[in-house]
Chain A
């Protein structure tokens, strides 16, 4: 596997479910990111991890819970979501997150639908 992979690619869940999104990067990077891409809205940065430490949380509701066990893996745990949380969730990685200088490499995303 190369680059950044995300699983699952599609997910449908009810509002009371608990699910997790997984991201893995094979680039030897030290920073990983979660983004939300909704229809007709700019791409929104949700969380940033740099050397496994969370360095940014852009006022994301607590029903989204990130986890970064090592520099290669990033999870987004979901629980009691709302229909407006339906979106494409993109994971990205970069060499490191200092001042957001480095270009980011993105995964293909997980298309989440909350019913």
Chain B
């Protein structure tokens, strides 16, 4: 069964600090997809990134970067030089790439507060 663990329930940083959100997953499949979503106070989740299990290249998008490590089953998310607008709940999610699979498992989320 697939499972996603976000051990950090809440993180508080001061603006301009770097912060890393951890995500550890469990799956028996060799092909799977990992996602990060951001949920601002307005409620709707916003897609940030998708990674498939065969692509271990790290990704950088502006102040955001992702570190995918299959050896430790982790897909961590780092925000560099955090800003107040980064305050949100961040979810990591896992989907196993089976033809008849229609399930997405989300972690419990990490609430990030960036203080001015």
Taking Cβ atoms with an 8 Å cutoff, the residues of A that contact B are 4, 40-43, 45, 48, 50, 55-56, 58, 88, 90, 92, 97-101, 103-109
Contacts and interface: CB of A to CB of B under 8 A. Distances in A.
B101 A100 contact: yes
Given A40-B108, A43-B45, A99-B98, 13 more contacts: A42-B106, A42-B109, A58-B103, A92-B45, A99-B97, A99-B99, A99-B101, A105-B47, A106-B37, A106-B46, A107-B44, A108-B43, A109-B43
Interface of B: 4, 33, 35, 37, 42-47, 50, 91, 93, 95-99, 101-109
Pairs A-B, 8 closest by C-beta atoms: A100-B95, A56-B102, A103-B47, A43-B106, A106-B45, A108-B43, A106-B44, A109-B43
Contacts of B95: 99-101
Contacts of A108: 42-44
